[in-house]
Amino acid sequence: MIDRVAYISLHTSPLEQPGVGDAGGMNVYIKELAATMARRGVGVDVFTRRNDDDLPEVVEPEPGYRVVHVDAGPSRRLPVSDLPEYVAEFADGVIKWGYTEGAKFDVVHSHYWLSGWAGVLVKDALSIPLANSFHTLGRVKDLTRRADDAPTALFRIATERDVIALSDCVVASTEAEAADLLEHYDADPERLCTSPPGIDHAVFCPGDRRSARRRLEIEEGPLVVFAGRIQPLKGLDVAVAALGHLRSSVPAARLLVVGGASGPAGQAEVIRLRAMADDMGVSDAITWVPPQPHEQLVDYYRAADVVIVPSRSESFGLVAAEAQSCAIPVVAANVGGLAYTVDDGASGFLIDGWEPGRYAAAIARILADPGLAARLGAGALDFSQQFSWQATADRLLELYDGISGR
């Protein structure tokens, strides 16, 4: 029986708003999973690095789920590339907090490669089993990265290999990620577990498009929505270029972008994309919306005719899953976890590669055919029902039981 678990999220906190800085789908994953576990009587302490002096040591978003801010390095936001030198200090802070509080953890579950490194240290010090979720893998990102995007540091790839070797279990979001771990990292298949993230169906559910647009003050007309961090990995350049193609057949089409710059190349990417839109003559058809609280994304999904997810790498694709849960068709890259999250031809369309014209053609098909749009919307809602946080918690509790008894 699992009574208490430690979640490690060194570089970003589940309290931070997705779409800001390094916060994204992983933050949603940890927040929703921790809350679900706590409601089922499993205590969860999420350890994250303090990046602001004004943050309290402990925040309790709801009973049984706490976020602990650990001092490691300067108390300010730092780029991920600066964080490796503070991993040992962070792990030491987690270990000391556990001893001071008398916390008895059954399992430590780390998230991302930096947290995995810290998790190995915590595992050894407290003699508890370690599960690790990477959420993104360096070698896999490099396979499809844009030519002008910097390659993954070799140090990260070496650390990922070590974490995989030293974890009691590595949790993959989809069979695609599990295959990547086997092929590119020689992971032990007996220590691999597949557990997809979930969706809060009470929040992300179908609603009236016109009402959503009125609330958001969006005009009527064909609307494509992109939601996510703005960085080369997320493929927003493909969406902007696709709009240029789409406008030749659907002159009234618009693109709404919800998200902010992320990562070392984020701000440069924003500047590049705005210049690109100017050059293509579509600036007037793009609305840029700053990052929104996660629960408020539901109105942006509902307002859309189509949600576009042209990422170059995704371990799962939470935006695609949530949009489908709102009965919105998705046009996504046929890569990584998106191939499992989107049912090609039934809940949307999967596109091979990143040629903008292909995305535009798929979107145009949906916009031109109300019957097809309705069928895909119904298929999207149906397909999304397999993803729930309760199912994710069930699978992980089974995993935790297994490795704690190993």
Q: pLDDT for 35-51, tens place per residue?
A: 999 999 999 999 999 99
Cα Rg, the chain, nearest whole Å: 21
Asked if pLDDT for residue 304 goes beyond 90, the answer is yes
Q: What's the pLDDT score for residue 265?
A: 82
Q: What's the pLDDT score for residue 19?
A: 74
Asked if pLDDT for residue 120 goes beyond 90, the answer is yes
Asked if pLDDT for residue 234 goes beyond 90, the answer is yes
**Cα distance between residue 94 and residue 8, in whole Å:** 9
DSSP 6-20: EEE-SSS-TTSPTTS
Q: What's the pLDDT score for residue 23?
A: 75
Q: What's the pLDDT score for residue 268?
A: 93
Q: List the one residue out of 160, 175, 169 whose CA is nearest residue 188.
A: 169
Asked if pLDDT for residue 242 goes beyond 70, the answer is yes
The single residue listed with the structure tokens 């014209």 is 357
Q: What's the pLDDT score for residue 17?
A: 82
Q: What's the pLDDT score for residue 37?
A: 97
Asked if pLDDT for residue 406 goes beyond 60, the answer is no
**Cα distance between residue 197 and residue 317, in whole Å:** 9
Contacts of 203 (CB under 8 A, 6+ apart): 295, 298
Q: How distant, in Å, are the alpha carbons of 233, 236, 241, 253, 257 from that of 286?
A: 20, 12, 11, 9, 7
Cα angle: 209, vertex 283, 220; to 5 degrees: 20
Q: What is the pTM of this model?
A: 0.94
Q: List the one residue out of 68, 49, 51 whose CA is nearest residue 5.
A: 68
- Residue 244 in contact with residue 280, Cβ under 8 Å? yes
DSSP 344-376: BTTTEEEESS--HHHHHHHHHHHHH-HHHHHHH
